[in-house]
Chain A
């Protein structure tokens, strides 16, 4: 029993540095695994849309036609589900918070315009693909023809 049981601690804290920070002039150093905000490495992204499907708040939109990946940072709850589910591992949780904003804006990431080399590579791949399809179609037609002939012979 008695008074001033907290006296020692209170007196000690008179000579200590304040526990608080003068935010926004000072900020705390962020830990490595802090759930700050999501960033997408759009070069690696295949726009498969799994992140949008798994997101519990539906804050991600994937537009395949426009080749864009959109996140609404005000709806994102930093649960890291998209990062965990991404098959390409192109999503990263950055360990720093976004700055306060005065208006609600979504963050859109679009695939960059391909360079001449990339365009040539894509055209070559497209040609190869067309050739493969053509060869497969021809092979299929030949197989069917042979089958038909065999059936006719049997009759």
Chain B
């Protein structure tokens, strides 16, 4: 056994899309301890509620994270609506859920591309991102933007999606599905991929509960914490919703959960498009939240459960806004998964939690 050494990993590292620093304590080629450090991209966005009014803050909430941009504006708007006792029209709920599921597909495809890149499968990476462009094209046609959509408003959404457009989305998703199944096959059946992923970074279901893991990272360890099961918003109208779980608990399980969630999201969108009710898509919200009022909401984002808390002070600005993001929860699990792994597997394990440091630091 060699002498223990500390090896810095990040914040600038080819595998990391965002800055995360890890101090890896290694003995020979084995990681024995990990000390994570964040704080490179803190922007003080929660403090901004004091200078932006509730309607303006929606655009700030969107910029918390580029990939879950729609999710954050959705979650923030939902919390403020609860704070002010506003009931939004059912059509708006459906439109929000459709867009949220589309953003889950785009986030998972982005992550699958990054994962393929991390294990050195360049052509798989290219094909994942090529398919992701199709989803961004849908966003562009619907909301006018590709990543930052500015689609949500407090009280509904900015614009309706008409029936021909909904049909076009459905057709586009159908064409994506065929190509995606081929990509999925490469991810889940290819021996070279399996050699790299199976048995790497194992977390048992008991540990997943103990470390408070959320999202696909926890679902890969057979821990069901999918917030969509609660049936909030339009998810309550789904005929049958079964969260995707895996008993593997390793990197392969995490890839599998995310890969299957894309197909699940496609079928959710198809079902919601079939069931979408007619009516308004926006109710104007006037006034300000009452002093001392408090509200919270949870949402299943591509990376896991997000918790929003808002409190009002009688003015147009909120008293306090707080977000607990999935990566905050998953960092503990990640350090545990890293302990005892090979140094060469560190990048794969870090990537499979789908770290979103921008969300975590805000």
Interface, chain A (partner B; CB < 8 A) = 1-6, 8-10, 13, 19, 31, 33-35, 54, 56-57, 77-81, 84, 93, 95
Identify 25 residue pairs between A and B in the complex whose beta-carbon atoms are under 8 Å apart, listed by A's number.
A1-B191, A1-B194, A3-B191, A3-B192, A5-B186, A5-B189, A5-B190, A6-B121, A6-B123, A6-B183, A6-B186, A9-B179, A9-B186, A10-B127, A13-B127, A19-B133, A31-B141, A33-B143, A34-B144, A35-B144, A56-B52, A57-B59, A78-B144, A78-B145, A93-B144
**Are A3 and B145 in touch, CB under 8 angstroms?**
no
Kindly count the residue-residue contacts between A and B in the assembled complex, taking CB atoms under 8 Å apart.
72
Q: Contacts A1-B194, A31-B141, A84-B158 given; 6 further ones with Cβ under 8 A? A: A6-B121, A6-B182, A10-B123, A34-B140, A56-B59, A81-B55
**Residues in chain B near residue A9, CB distance under 8 A:** 127, 179, 182-183, 186
Size bracket of the B interface: 20 to 34
Asked whether any CB of chain A lies closer than 8 Å to the CB of B124, the reply is: yes
Tell me how far the C-beta of A32 lies from the nearest C-beta in chain B, rounded to whole angstroms: 8
- Contact A79/B150 with A9-B179, A34-B144 known, Cβ cut-off 8 Å: yes
Which 10 A-B residue pairings sit nearest by Cβ, starting from the closest?
A56-B56, A35-B144, A6-B186, A5-B186, A5-B190, A79-B150, A33-B144, A56-B59, A31-B141, A79-B59
Tell me how far the C-beta of A90 lies from the nearest C-beta in chain B, rounded to whole angstroms: 19
**Residues in chain B near residue A57, CB distance under 8 A:** 59
Most B CB contacts (10 A, CB to CB) among A1, A80, A84, A93 go to A80
Asked whether any CB of chain A lies closer than 8 Å to the CB of B130, the reply is: yes
**Residues in chain B near residue A78, CB distance under 8 A:** 144-145, 150
**Are B124 and A80 in touch, CB under 8 angstroms?**
no
Tell me how far the C-beta of A10 lies from the nearest C-beta in chain B, rounded to whole angstroms: 5
Looking at the complex, which one of A2, A6, A19, A31 makes contact with B140 (CB distance below 8 Å)?
A: A31
**Residues in chain A near residue B148, CB distance under 8 A:** 77
Residue of B with least CB distance to A7: B186
**Residues in chain A near residue B52, CB distance under 8 A:** 56
Tell me how far the C-beta of A79 lies from the nearest C-beta in chain B, rounded to whole angstroms: 4
Residue of A with least CB distance to B144: A35
**Residues in chain A near residue B189, CB distance under 8 A:** 1-2, 5
Bound-complex Cα distance A6 to B57 (A): 44
Asked whether any CB of chain A lies closer than 8 Å to the CB of B242, the reply is: no
Interface string of B114-136 (1 = CB under 8 A from A): 00000001011001001001000
Asked whether any CB of chain A lies closer than 8 Å to the CB of B166, the reply is: no
**Are A35 and B150 in touch, CB under 8 angstroms?**
yes
**Are B145 and A35 in touch, CB under 8 angstroms?**
yes
Bound-complex Cα distance A64 to B186 (A): 63
Residue of B with least CB distance to A93: B144
**Residues in chain A near residue B194, CB distance under 8 A:** 1
- Could you tell me which residues of chain B, from 152 to 179, have a CB within 8 Å of some CB in chain A? 158-159, 179
**Residues in chain B near residue A84, CB distance under 8 A:** 158
- Contact A8/B141 with A2-B190, A78-B150 known, Cβ cut-off 8 Å: no
Most B CB contacts (10 A, CB to CB) among A4, A9, A19 go to A9
Bound-complex Cα distance A33 to B150 (A): 13
**Residues in chain B near residue A95, CB distance under 8 A:** 144
